[in-house]
Chains A and B, each alone.
Chain A
Amino acid sequence: MRPFTYERAGDLSEASRLGANTGQGQTDAPVQFLAGGTTLVDLMKLDVLRPTRVVDISPLGADLAGVALTSRGLHLGALATMSKVAEHPDVRRAYPAIAESLSLAASDQLRNMASLGGNVLQRTRCPYYRDPSWEACNKRRPGSGCTAIQGYNHNHAVLGVDENCIAQYPGDLGVVLAAFDAEVELSGPSGARLLAFTSLHRPADGEPHLETNLRPGEVITGFNVPAGAWTRRSLYLKVRDRSSYEFALASAAVGLDMDGETVRQARIGLGGVAYRPWRSPEAEAVLVGKPLDEATAKAATDAAFAGAVTHGGNDFKPELGRRTLVRALLQAQSLPVSEAS
């Protein structure tokens, strides 16, 4: 860890002013926002992130930590902790996939500290990113190359990757937010704006060091998750070797709107397999208007992984991802759901 200046932002405008050089998630951005600190401090100790200024936005928590369910949907404050949202009765009832994605993530201690805003921005677990003694990492050092592509890539992404970076997005909540059409509320130097959650993280597209479409100084203030029949009949299935406290080998967020045996609408997100929070409209399209059974579920998963690219160590991922999604779809179909809102 290197010396840095620590400052506390008393309000959003101060946060944006102090955070004017936060960049778009570049590893070498000189300023970093600090909320729960569970990913930032870790990476500072590893000498990966070397901010000269850390702007603590936790004083904003009083205003930005709410959880509210309305007829339009669910609003989640960006500084609400993972544990608070995971345990919230409205979330558990009306958006079970969100509650499950949070309670299956990390450990109790981390969930008590980590904020939702920080959680969706969690950086990759790629070992070549997280250890600066590796020379080549396009995400950490633009243009230096990618060691993982020919190296140890057991838990690297197979969807949304390119020849510059195969880092996996490690989060869980983001997968559900991507599937559920969530939008992100932002506050920055030029005011507030809304962004589709699926536009928050940038695709690989040759510039993996740019992680997000945030503008310098922008703070995530909250998330809106629209209401829909699929949120109630939803689940998050996380497959991993260890029973707890492990990142997904493959995960699936599934929300279904059923008309009897027929799928009226589906929402499908995939985790543990993709470069960024991944929604699969291809898989959703396969299911719409069809009965959900083993055959249609498999057809949907084939569509979801049609573009998968593997690199040796992660050759198992498409098959495990497909099986995970089939299991999640059939499990979601059999969920007991009350139709009342």
Chain B
Amino acid sequence: MPRDTAELFGKPTPRIDGVAKVTGAARYASDEPVANPAFAWLVTSAIARGRVGGLRLDSAKAVPGVIDILTHDNVGALAQPPAQMDGGPTTTTLETDQIWHDGQIIAIVVAESFEAAREAANRVEVDYVAEPPSATFDSPGVQVEPHKTTEDSKDPAKGDAAAALAAAEVKIDARYSTPTQHHNPIELFTTTCVWDGPHLTIYEGSQAMWGLKANVAKQLGMDPAMVRTISRFVGGAFGSRGGTTSRTAWIAIAAKRLGRPVKLVATRDQGFTIATYRAETRQHLALGASRDGKLTAFVHEGWEVTSRPSGYNVAGVDTTARMYACPNIATAVHVVHADRNTPGFMRAPPETPYMFALESGMDELAHALNMDPIELRRVNDTKIDPVSGKPFSSRSLMACFDQAAAKFGWSGRNPKPGSMRDGDWLIGWGCATATYPTNIGPAAARLAVTPEGKVTVQLAAHEIGTGAYTVVAITAARSLGLKVDDTTVMLGDSSLPPVTVAGGSNNAATTANVVYKACEEVRRRLAEAATADPASPLHGADAASLQLKGGTLMGPTGASEPFKAALSRVTGGVLEVHAENAPQGSKPGAVAGLYEGKSAMVRGTGRENVTTFAFGAHFVEVRVHERTREIRTPRVVSAFSAGTIVNPMTAHSQFMGGALWGLSAALFEATEIDRKTARYVNHNLADYLIPVNADVPDIQVLVVPEEDDQVNPLGIKGIGEIGIVGMNAAVANAVFHATGTRIRDLPIRAESLL
């Protein structure tokens, strides 16, 4: 039985790695010092479909300092493609001469210097055998098919949605689209490989230390025990570093061929094509309701672009169908195969695009009903997951709406579109629901504590910028009654106990629960020894009732002894425990699978008795110039309710950063594709727009307290992704309120409103 979580958590705590980060002492993967490295540069394809007919390398080889050039011809047989997180196939690189997409790796130059490698790569001449490519939706040659469903992931369906829609008193029926987007973490995609005899060490920013290790070992036909992956700090991941991509194995092979370390720092533009991205979607949404606003029909269909071989898709209808009470549900998802790189996870992969349609549609329905959009959500709020019939473990959606609305001043809104203005600027206020499923994964951790109260916690978890080191330190120190400042945390190394992939916002729940379990083991051993020792003031007490608090082992009556005395009774040196946690609902073998690099998660929709989600509400003000139609966003209020908040300080950053990215997804971000050649054209941070400081509005984040003892023992819901969800719709709804124009295609730009 866990301690009162309010006693453990909720105190704003600065990042324990903050000083290291701002002083440059924190080592990101490419900062790791290696002896005498050679430098790699990727040569990537300038066509999207065809084959490499030949490579003319003489000019490149003549560049002083060039050591080696890897091509299909000389290394293609040495590695298999990396396994995909979805289990399906993906595009190849040097394994064959086939070109699947723009910017595919077709050769790798290795040289004595970064500059020589770059120059030589620019001098590689490629003879292509080109075929006409298919770029995206509506391009000739794309193949459309229903996405694959499994017993665990069926498309939500209930009742007779078509009939209910036909009979609905009020309905909306609309099509929406969301664009291609790229993560663009500020840390570029890098890989450094070092061999020591048969042992391979890979330094690479990763969200899956053990997954990367197992996957690369398999690609190279090695025993995974011979591979170590290190990624102590990650400069942003957002899903882009969850799966293994092609470059890693080739850099390992380059290092092996040379007998010296090889370092690759891919360029910003290469990052658009050698890693993953959020694919563009098209969606159809139809909602039927009675006059009082109660939903009677829900129809949501999606189309998603993917590569030729991969069936990757995000199928966000699995979330949207659960948002509101509705007796009739029909959903479908299709994949559209084009000559593109394979997409992948990007912050709230299903929810960001699919909640845009639902939450825009809810606003349209509210307008059609002449009803306040908050009230429409209230009328359809539900404590029961409408798809599965299971209760939500907790759902504070309307509390989030009400508190954010009050803070925002929503009651002062004139609902008539175009009715509010300030000089030449039209003002619009919009809102939308945010949500994200609550997931948790299996994990292992090692914890050592000295009599002086110095704690070391080790696990192969991932600091992707979220504050993971601090979450672990807080959990360990507070559970042991010791100090955060006396706690050392080691993460990001596959030689440490395995943790599931840092995805699906599971990290805080996963790591805190396993570390708590380790601390509980320490407490148990100290308590059992103390209660058995006649010399202890706690002698004879019930060991289960003892707690570690304030540097002591304390009984329920107030009797206590110093931590040092309690620990020294058990060991003269250091007490170390190894804990493993399989969260409730885990499939058999989940923990064993961790050691094979498998990532298993208990999902919010995959629990036996409950459905687990976190909820929130966004409110945004937009201003649109009446003539030139630029859109500005002076203020945002967002409220979230997500169970136990481990560290309110870093949680605030997560919520705020998510809301800001949501604004960016609504107004700025889109990867543009040359339709004829299926090539990206704005693959840099000048032309791929993201907000600058002047665009960053006043973002106020509210946290609505919530206790949920069903999600996991510590009541933690993930918060890494929920912040982005729904903000795109809130902005679109605000633009409609400002102008009377409903924009259903993102991003919304001045030209959308001319």
Roughly how many angstroms separate A144 CA and B632 CA in the complex, as a whole number? 41
Interface status of B508 (Cβ within 8 A of chain A): no
- CB within 8 Å for A316 and B751 given contacts A147-B674, A326-B627: yes
Roughly how many angstroms separate A327 CA and B693 CA in the complex, as a whole number? 25
Quote the shortest CB–CB distance from A44 to chain B (angstroms).
11
Instruction: Establish whether residues B676 and A241, one from each chain, have CB atoms under 8 Å apart when the complex forms.
Output: no
Residues of B within 8 A of A239 (CB): 628, 630, 750
Interface status of A1 (Cβ within 8 A of chain B): yes
Roughly how many angstroms separate A245 CA and B628 CA in the complex, as a whole number? 18
- CB within 8 Å for A242 and B691 given contacts A152-B681, A323-B628: yes
Interface status of A324 (Cβ within 8 A of chain B): yes
- CB within 8 Å for A327 and B672 given contacts A1-B115, A320-B751: no
| Interface core residue of A128, A133, A134, A150 (most chain B CB under 10 Å) | A133
Instruction: Establish whether residues A249 and B750, one from each chain, have CB atoms under 8 Å apart when the complex forms.
Output: yes
Instruction: Establish whether residues A245 and B692, one from each chain, have CB atoms under 8 Å apart when the complex forms.
Output: yes
| Interface core residue of B668, B689, B751, B754 (most chain A CB under 10 Å) | B751
Residues of A within 8 A of B46 (CB): 133-135
Quote the shortest CB–CB distance from B340 to chain A (angstroms).
15
| Interface core residue of A47, A147, A151 (most chain B CB under 10 Å) | A151
Residues of A within 8 A of B692 (CB): 242-245
Instruction: Establish whether residues B681 and A320, one from each chain, have CB atoms under 8 Å apart when the complex forms.
Output: no
Instruction: Establish whether residues B630 and A327, one from each chain, have CB atoms under 8 Å apart when the complex forms.
Output: no
Instruction: Establish whether residues B632 and A243, one from each chain, have CB atoms under 8 Å apart when the complex forms.
Output: yes
Residues of A within 8 A of B292 (CB): none
- CB within 8 Å for A241 and B694 given contacts A1-B118, A127-B682, A324-B628: no
Interface 1/0 per residue, B617-629 and A, CB below 8 Å: 0000000010111
Residues of B within 8 A of A147 (CB): 674, 677
Instruction: Establish whether residues B687 and A127, one from each chain, have CB atoms under 8 Å apart when the complex forms.
Output: yes
Residues of A within 8 A of B630 (CB): 239-241
Instruction: Establish whether residues B628 and A241, one from each chain, have CB atoms under 8 Å apart when the complex forms.
Output: no
Instruction: Establish whether residues B122 and A125, one from each chain, have CB atoms under 8 Å apart when the complex forms.
Output: no
Interface 1/0 per residue, A217-250 and B, CB below 8 Å: 0000000000000000000000111111110011
Interface 1/0 per residue, B671-706 and A, CB below 8 Å: 011111100011000110101111100000000000
Quote the shortest CB–CB distance from B64 to chain A (angstroms).
9
Residue of B nearest to A147 (CB): B674
Roughly how many angstroms separate A246 CA and B694 CA in the complex, as a whole number? 11
Roughly how many angstroms separate A323 CA and B630 CA in the complex, as a whole number? 11
Quote the shortest CB–CB distance from B182 to chain A (angstroms).
15
Quote the shortest CB–CB distance from A328 to chain B (angstroms).
9
Residues of A within 8 A of B695 (CB): 242-244
Residue of B nearest to A107 (CB): B692
Quote the shortest CB–CB distance from B673 to chain A (angstroms).
7
Interface status of A260 (Cβ within 8 A of chain B): no
Instruction: Establish whether residues B676 and A150, one from each chain, have CB atoms under 8 Å apart when the complex forms.
Output: yes
Roughly how many angstroms separate A240 CA and B749 CA in the complex, as a whole number? 9
Interface status of A72 (Cβ within 8 A of chain B): no
Residue of A nearest to B695 (CB): A243
Instruction: Establish whether residues B668 and A241, one from each chain, have CB atoms under 8 Å apart when the complex forms.
Output: yes
Residues of A within 8 A of B667 (CB): 241
Instruction: Establish whether residues B754 and A151, one from each chain, have CB atoms under 8 Å apart when the complex forms.
Output: no
Residue of B nearest to A155 (CB): B687
Which of A47, A131, A154, A327 has a CB less than 8 Å from the CB of B627?
Answer: A327
Q: Which of B587-639 contact A (CB under 8 A)?
A: 625, 627-632
Interface status of B521 (Cβ within 8 A of chain A): no
| Interface core residue of B118, B119, B628, B751 (most chain A CB under 10 Å) | B628
Quote the shortest CB–CB distance from A217 to chain B (angstroms).
28
Quote the shortest CB–CB distance from B573 to chain A (angstroms).
54
Which of A131, A152, A244, A245 has a CB less than 8 Å from the CB of B673?
Answer: A152
Residues of B within 8 A of A240 (CB): 630, 750
Instruction: Establish whether residues B754 and A316, one from each chain, have CB atoms under 8 Å apart when the complex forms.
Output: yes
- CB within 8 Å for A323 and B754 given contacts A239-B628, A242-B668: yes
Quote the shortest CB–CB distance from B290 to chain A (angstroms).
40
Instruction: Establish whether residues A2 and B122, one from each chain, have CB atoms under 8 Å apart when the complex forms.
Output: yes
Q: Which of A123-158 contact B (CB under 8 A)?
A: 125, 127-128, 131-135, 147, 150-152, 154
- CB within 8 Å for A151 and B691 given contacts A239-B750, A241-B631, A241-B750: no
Interface size on B, residues (CB 8 A): 35
Residues of A within 8 A of B694 (CB): 242-245
Roughly how many angstroms separate A1 CA and B122 CA in the complex, as a whole number? 8
Roughly how many angstroms separate A54 CA and B502 CA in the complex, as a whole number? 48
Which of A150, A154, A241, A326 has a CB less than 8 Å from the CB of B672?
Answer: A154
Quote the shortest CB–CB distance from B378 to chain A (angstroms).
35
- CB within 8 Å for A125 and B750 given contacts A3-B119, A243-B695: no
Interface 1/0 per residue, A1-45 and B, CB below 8 Å: 111000000000000000000000000000000000000000000
Q: Which of B740-754 contact A (CB under 8 A)?
A: 749-751, 754
Roughly how many angstroms separate A133 CA and B121 CA in the complex, as a whole number? 12
Instruction: Establish whether residues A241 and B689, one from each chain, have CB atoms under 8 Å apart when the complex forms.
Output: yes
Which of A47, A243, A320 has a CB less than 8 Å from the CB of B754?
Answer: A320
Interface status of A205 (Cβ within 8 A of chain B): no
Instruction: Establish whether residues A246 and B689, one from each chain, have CB atoms under 8 Å apart when the complex forms.
Output: yes
Instruction: Establish whether residues B628 and A320, one from each chain, have CB atoms under 8 Å apart when the complex forms.
Output: yes
Residues of B within 8 A of A127 (CB): 681-682, 687
Quote the shortest CB–CB distance from B478 to chain A (angstroms).
42
Interface status of A259 (Cβ within 8 A of chain B): no
Which of B674, B682, B749 has a CB less than 8 Å from the CB of A241?
Answer: B749
Interface status of A261 (Cβ within 8 A of chain B): no
Q: Which of A284-335 contact B (CB under 8 A)?
A: 316, 319-320, 323-324, 326-327
Roughly how many angstroms separate A246 CA and B688 CA in the complex, as a whole number? 10
Quote the shortest CB–CB distance from A249 to chain B (angstroms).
6
Residues of B within 8 A of A1 (CB): 115, 118-119
Q: Which of A181-195 contact B (CB under 8 A)?
A: none
Instruction: Establish whether residues A319 and B689, one from each chain, have CB atoms under 8 Å apart when the complex forms.
Output: no
Roughly how many angstroms separate A245 CA and B694 CA in the complex, as a whole number? 9
| Interface core residue of A131, A154, A241, A320 (most chain B CB under 10 Å) | A241
Residue of A nearest to B754 (CB): A319
Residues of A within 8 A of B691 (CB): 242
Quote the shortest CB–CB distance from B686 to chain A (angstroms).
8
Quote the shortest CB–CB distance from A223 to chain B (angstroms).
26
Q: Which of B110-138 contact A (CB under 8 A)?
A: 115, 118-119, 122
Quote the shortest CB–CB distance from B357 to chain A (angstroms).
22
Residue of B nearest to A331 (CB): B424
Residues of B within 8 A of A154 (CB): 672
Instruction: Establish whether residues B676 and A151, one from each chain, have CB atoms under 8 Å apart when the complex forms.
Output: yes
Residues of A within 8 A of B628 (CB): 239, 250, 320, 323-324, 327
Roughly how many angstroms separate A243 CA and B692 CA in the complex, as a whole number? 7
Roughly how many angstroms separate A147 CA and B681 CA in the complex, as a whole number? 11
Residues of B within 8 A of A3 (CB): 119
Residues of A within 8 A of B632 (CB): 243
Q: Which of B14-70 contact A (CB under 8 A)?
A: 46
Residues of B within 8 A of A324 (CB): 627-628
Residues of B within 8 A of A152 (CB): 672-675, 681-682
Roughly how many angstroms separate A2 CA and B750 CA in the complex, as a whole number? 40
Quote the shortest CB–CB distance from A277 to chain B (angstroms).
21
Quote the shortest CB–CB distance from A46 to chain B (angstroms).
9
Quote the shortest CB–CB distance from B386 to chain A (angstroms).
38
Interface 1/0 per residue, A167-185 and B, CB below 8 Å: 0000000000000000000
17 contacts between A and B (CB under 8 A): A1-B119, A2-B119, A131-B269, A134-B46, A135-B46, A147-B674, A152-B673, A240-B750, A241-B668, A241-B689, A242-B691, A242-B694, A249-B751, A250-B628, A320-B628, A323-B627, A326-B627
Top 9 closest pairs, chain A to chain B, by CB? A243-B694, A316-B751, A133-B46, A244-B694, A127-B681, A152-B681, A47-B122, A239-B628, A151-B674
Residues of chain A touching chain B, judged by Cβ–Cβ distance below 8 Å, are: 1-3, 47, 125, 127-128, 131-135, 147, 150-152, 154, 239-246, 249-250, 316, 319-320, 323-324, 326-327
Given A131-B269, A244-B692, A320-B628; 6 other pairs, CB 8 A cutoff: A1-B119, A128-B681, A239-B630, A243-B632, A245-B692, A246-B689
